[in-house]
Structure 1
């Protein structure tokens, strides 16, 4: 991409842009039609692409829901958030704010912005304050009747469309159906995605002299893949490409993959089911794309739509069978690389691709810089780089799993190389993601110098961040902590609607049947 944005007119303090963050959940980087996927239909994401910049190397540096969202809202990586996986340490939500400063929405309020947040935020506790003036939750699961009653979307269904309140799995069935093709139990106009888009339009259109900062966080296309009619039959499974499977002995060195497969009843997905799942996944994305179109139409109706900064990202991707894995929590591209679109017609060029390394941690700096008081925290100055005030990031480092446990792993991306380190067994995998984007050929033995350089960079980052738990000191210097390789015990996860008193499968099937002949 040329740095032509450098010569554009600077926005003054009294002419700050509206800022809109649109986020999906578990959307792969390769799911936008005009960016090379000829099988998917995404006219409104295509519209966003044409409106601004597409970052071809956008990453989630901690690719699972909770830590990814905390990196975004705090501008900090796990080395400072201390959130390494979906298990948030008790009280961490408030301590993080006290240690690192206000969360993004609160920071934008301090800069004079009207703020609203709609959708999934995956905090702990579930309704924790993250600084929005208007905060409308739509979380995926309900632990208690009180939570379901106070969830903005579930309560809307209960009060405005009570004919559907009997549905316990409003977003589709989980547990053993997590990776089974499904259809939404609700019509397209009443799903959580349509609700989020409609609420976003209401907020965008609120009369207020202040610029707005809005975050719209869609639950989909996170599984279960249950698009509403007619999106459920939009794609022919027989036209869907099969997953890209590498050497199983390499791919499953990361025990997270087979462990998650078993947890979600997905350890034996055959080719037909894999194609059907991808068809429904694409249907989910096309449906969300239509909802995004509703939001973009509202932006275009504003008096000065060119002065609206729109960021579009996902929290992480989904392996979708690639590397014989389902779910995320992996540093393979399908899991950790994300769509990352940035558009601000007043200031940035349109319809251009950019090869700069960016990640979710950068969102904090992008938004606060646009608001006139930059706060980069651990992110890179992306807007400054685009406007000619600095160089792109050279290297990106990601983490997952608590240090000094078998789950700890890390990623280093630099130039064409990606190093994946696994504490379980101490394995290092090196891929040339430029010539081998599917990561089918591990090259660590052919390029020991590159492995050593990237390993040193990883160790130096951990030392600089004071993360001693991930390190050990020896006679020859500091090394990464490892443990002997072990195969993890397989388990299942059961995700029923606890707000309705459902905690698992019954010992006696007859107890769930109301037919007097059977009971």
Structure 2
């Protein structure tokens, strides 16, 4: 590994540079005591990718700095570990059992119906509490430009389904206007489809990528002349594949120095049929060890690049007079198997996919340099923000600020689910203490892991500890019953047992993600 590039990843010089001075922000002489709140999210970043938290193979000086500024939750999860459900969970404060979003499709009624069921989305809720609100980056709503309550909302989605979407995407339109020399590029974030898990180089220089753009936009919005406290959201698209860091981050890590994936028995790992199905879907069914290490090197390069962008955000906060009264929460929507368990992508309840980094800082209120073992999840973010704003609304989350203050109890049990209940694709997770149960409707299989004894989830212990497996299964059934998820049970929801199906391998298919905005519909298609 070479040294971290010294220049700002968001552009070294010029007007609008992300290192501009923000000390000119006008403040009311009677500064409000309510804090600013900044949420920073990456896409598909594993829990074990921060140097200060134990990974010696990656350089993350600014995430290290954020961890030192506040508190780390070491056992934080995405309770439905894939893009759309995770995002609807964090913006609604509710689990898929209430949002109805169990995978990357939004059910009938869509975006507006979720708000009707769950209440105003987080940005709107913060606006109702007197906050100036802004959001930049990937929102992954359905439809793509659905409003979620921000006064200012600047989208940068991963790809474009029509010419209108590309023209309406804030980042793509910025490229077209400010850097037309790059507007010919179909895949601004790197090639997908058959290149999904091929190591790549960004087609753009570092100061033109979507991450640098989002950082500059966020810093400008942060500095707006407004006396209200602000709630800001920065949602980075990386390190979601394709792994295409810009120069020089593409060569920051030597693949030969990267650790190999951690795998158990393939037959056990692939009891979750979603893993081999997804491998084939994204052309990753036969990744060899060298390619796996190279992909990890590029993945870490993406993370180090984004870490530099986060450093610019932290600099902007710390130059402000209200820096110590600014809550910063960093997290990811889910992780990536990255070859572990013979798998790639997410949508699995193995730790590499479901567990996420989760850092909270608030110098005026939260101890610095603390690490907590209590269970946390993305559902808690709604309550975190509204509690900081002075009018707590936890919805289905737990009270993390109360926990840190010693006034609220920890969560005893954490549940997760993915796939439509009542179908073969439904699966669930129960985490309690050191135990984790993965329950699969396909075949009725159960995997029980003791994460203290087996942190890499290599040897399931349900055969040796059937009482624990039965107890956690009963807790799952009770949870689903209490949420009214009748379709998860047999006999049309009237039976006592969770509905299972004879084990079946799923038909394999491929996903094609070309630039539909340019008329590209498949291989060989002309624009």
Q: What TM bracket, shorter-length normalisation? A: over 0.9
Superposition deviation, residue 32 in structure 1: 0.2
Segments of structure 2 that go 5 or more residues without pairing to the other structure are: 1-29
RMSD: 1.4
Q: How does 1:397-476 map to 2 (within 5 A)?
A: 397-472=415-490
Residue 95 of structure 2 is aligned to residue 77 of structure 1: yes
Superposition deviation, residue 14 in structure 1: 3.9
Q: Match for residue 249 of structure 2? A: 231
Distance between the aligned counterparts of 1:410 and 1:466, measured in 2?
Answer: 16
**TM-score of the superposition, structure 1-length normalised?**
0.95
Distance between the aligned counterparts of 1:106 and 1:397, measured in 2?
Answer: 27
Q: How does 1:55-454 map to 2 (within 5 A)?
A: 55-454=73-472
CA contact (8 A) 2:487 2:493 kept: no
Query: How many residues of Structure 1 are paired with residues of Structure 2 in the alignment?
Result: 498
1:315-339 CA-partner distances (Å, limit 9, x unpaired):
0000000000000000000000000
CA contact (8 A) 1:357 1:396 kept: yes
507, 510, 514: which one aligns with 1:492: 510
Q: Match for residue 515 of structure 1? A: none
Q: Match for residue 24 of structure 2? A: none
Distance between the aligned counterparts of 1:123 and 1:413, measured in 2?
Answer: 28
Superposition deviation, residue 112 in structure 1: 0.2
SS at match of 1:480: coil
1:29-70 CA-partner distances (Å, limit 9, x unpaired):
000001100010000000100000010000000000000000
SS at match of 2:463: coil
Stretch moving more, 471-480 or 108-117: 471-480
Distance between the aligned counterparts of 2:424 and 2:116, measured in 1?
Answer: 30
Distance between the aligned counterparts of 1:132 and 1:457, measured in 2?
Answer: 37
SS at match of 1:238: helix
Distance between the aligned counterparts of 1:475 and 1:223, measured in 2?
Answer: 39
SS at match of 1:269: coil
CA contact (8 A) 2:486 2:492 kept: no
503, 507, 511: which one aligns with 2:521: 503
1:426-484 CA-partner distances (Å, limit 9, x unpaired):
00000011111100001000001101110110000011100000012599961110000
Superposition deviation, residue 391 in structure 1: 1.0
SS at match of 1:276: helix
SS at match of 1:156: helix
Distance between the aligned counterparts of 2:31 and 2:250, measured in 1?
Answer: 47
Distance between the aligned counterparts of 1:91 and 1:288, measured in 2?
Answer: 36
Distance between the aligned counterparts of 1:100 and 1:404, measured in 2?
Answer: 22
Distance between the aligned counterparts of 2:453 and 2:53, measured in 1?
Answer: 18
Segments of structure 1 that go 5 or more residues without pairing to the other structure are: 1-11, 513-519
1:216-242 CA-partner distances (Å, limit 9, x unpaired):
000000000000000000000000000
Distance between the aligned counterparts of 1:478 and 1:42, measured in 2?
Answer: 49
